[in-house]
Chains A and B, each alone.
Chain A
């Protein structure tokens, strides 16, 4: 008779969920990772636990409201060490759309150490799975398990099925060449995820994905579609990368070809919106400051 394998089988990693005042979007999606076959956390060698004392990984949703804070911290404390903490959705990571409220005291890392962030609003169950898989690996490392569980053997598996779900509203992309600096995106953004900084070299655009609600409103109102929605959903990351998850771009200033004063060039996308076709005549106006442009087109400055 063959001997049984020497190694003990790896026990399942136990997950515990804490709702810190969420809109329930993240929670309802987490529920699918316990009830829908294709998203089930079992494939990552995990299962859900009903009690914090019997858990290894804590999943926290919501922006952390004043009133729920003590309850959250108490439950968190009941989870035995070593534990791995996952912030699920942009709410616990940055406060999300609720950041400016008197009733919100997050981000959660002000009160407890976070290991992994899973941005999204809410994140796709696959993204949740990927974050949970990362957390499970981290927890096993912390506990000194050397052998990876079979499902996790190939690193490619961390991300779940490789295919992006069709038409998913994922990470936003910025195309500086098309930006006209109208800042409409910043104006409509509920997450406070977009920021412009003006320097002498140009207009610097920064979008922090961890503050983004992935609503696409910025793209909708962007006159030149310098902002566009991609279907990239895999964004879970270690806490140390929290502030590096950005999209940046610079709209460089150019000197006016006539008088030399500094101006924001007109994006070809805007010309296309305004004139349908761009002619050479219009092209030339692109690099003129408004005053010189006026001079060119009406032959003198109006007083």
Chain B
């Protein structure tokens, strides 16, 4: 296991040209996960090459925007790879505005849908994606749905639920409107 851990950090360090530290966690079943934050967004490209050399596979890509990160003026993306049962998560930070990242599609084919998906949900541009069309979102939905739609949907949905409940309460005994 020591050897495996060493191999992984050495390979990534070699490809990105600087020392990286991977934090390893082991759960009660002995399943290992690795966590590593890269210093710069563009480093994901050489890091992905390193994972490919380790015969890893891309499992999933998670883009997210936490309040905490927003305060720092950044957004994050985590790339989850599978190394024969061990999940390695490489995270990067990108600016809130004008975030751009290189496509991994030429290294991992299945990056295609993952990238198309976070492009439509967040304000992130993928450079070099072969087919950057929308994937799941209807044309009528605003781009970067998760960033722009949150306030809008709270408003619209509240309205939907509220209208239904008004009808329910109007047709049944307890109107709940007795408070002056």
Chain A interfacial positions (CB closer than 8 Å to B):
65-67, 94-95, 99-103, 107, 192, 195, 197-201, 204, 206, 208, 211, 243-244, 246, 248, 250
- On chain B, which size bracket covers the interface? 20 to 34
Instruction: Tell me the complex Cα distance, A208–B168, Å.
Output: 8
Residues in B neighbouring A244, C-beta threshold 8 A: 171-172
Q: Do B160 and A102 have beta carbons less than 8 Å apart?
A: no
Q: Are A102 and B145 in contact (CB-based, < 8 A)?
A: yes
| Nearest CB of A to B150, in Å | 9
Contacts of A201 in B (CB 8 A): 178
CB distance from A108 to the nearest CB of B (A): 13
Q: CA A199 – CA B153 in complex, angstroms?
A: 30
Q: Which residues of A contact B137 (CB under 8 A)?
A: 67, 103
Say whether B178 contacts A199, CB under 8 Å. yes
Return chain A residues, CB-CB under 8 Å to B171: 243-244
Complex CA distance for A186 and B141, rounded to whole angstroms: 30
Q: List the A side residues contacting B140 at CB < 8 Å.
A: 66
Tell me, yes or no, whether B18 is within 8 Å of chain A by CB. Answer: no
Report whether A248 and B173 are in contact in the complex, using a CB–CB cutoff of 8 Å.
yes
The verdict on A246 contacting B153 (CB below 8 Å), with A198-B179, A200-B179 known, is no
Which residues does chain A contribute within 8 Å of B72, judged by CB atoms? none
What 4 pairs between A and B have smallest CB-CB spacing? A197-B176, A204-B174, A100-B157, A67-B138
Give complex CA distance A290, B178 in Å. 25
Nearest B-chain residue to A196, judged by Cβ: B176
Residue pairs across A and B with Cβ atoms less than 8 A apart, 22 shown, are A67-B136, A67-B138, A99-B157, A99-B161, A99-B164, A100-B153, A100-B160, A102-B149, A102-B152, A195-B165, A197-B177, A199-B174, A200-B179, A208-B164, A243-B164, A243-B167, A243-B168, A243-B170, A243-B171, A243-B172, A248-B172, A250-B174
User: Given the complex, which residues of B lie within 8 Å of A192, measured CB to CB?
Assistant: 161
CB distance B164 to A204 under 8 Å? Answer: no
Q: Check A102/B172 contact, CB under 8 A, given A107-B164, A200-B179, A243-B167.
A: no
> How far apart sit A244 and B168, CA to CA, in the bound complex (Å)?
7
User: Does B32 reach chain A (CB closer than 8 Å)?
Assistant: no
- Give the chain B neighbours of A208 by CB distance below 8 A: 164-165, 168
Known pairs A65-B138, A197-B174, A208-B168. 19 more at Cβ < 8 A? A66-B140, A66-B141, A67-B138, A99-B160, A99-B164, A100-B153, A100-B160, A103-B137, A103-B138, A192-B161, A197-B175, A197-B176, A199-B178, A199-B179, A201-B178, A206-B169, A243-B164, A243-B171, A244-B171
CB < 8 Å: which of B138, B160, B169, B178 contacts A66? B138
Contact residue among A101, A107, A211 (Cβ-Cβ distance under 8 Å from B153): A101
Residues of A within 8 A of B161 (CB): 99-100, 192
Chain B contacts for A107, CB-based, 8 A: 164
Q: What is the distance, in angstroms, from A43's C-beta to the closest C-beta of chain B?
A: 34
B156 lies within 8 A of chain A by Cβ:
yes
Which residues between 117 and 173 of chain B lie within 8 Å of chain A, taking CB atoms?
136-138, 140-141, 145, 149, 152-153, 156-157, 160-161, 164-165, 167-173
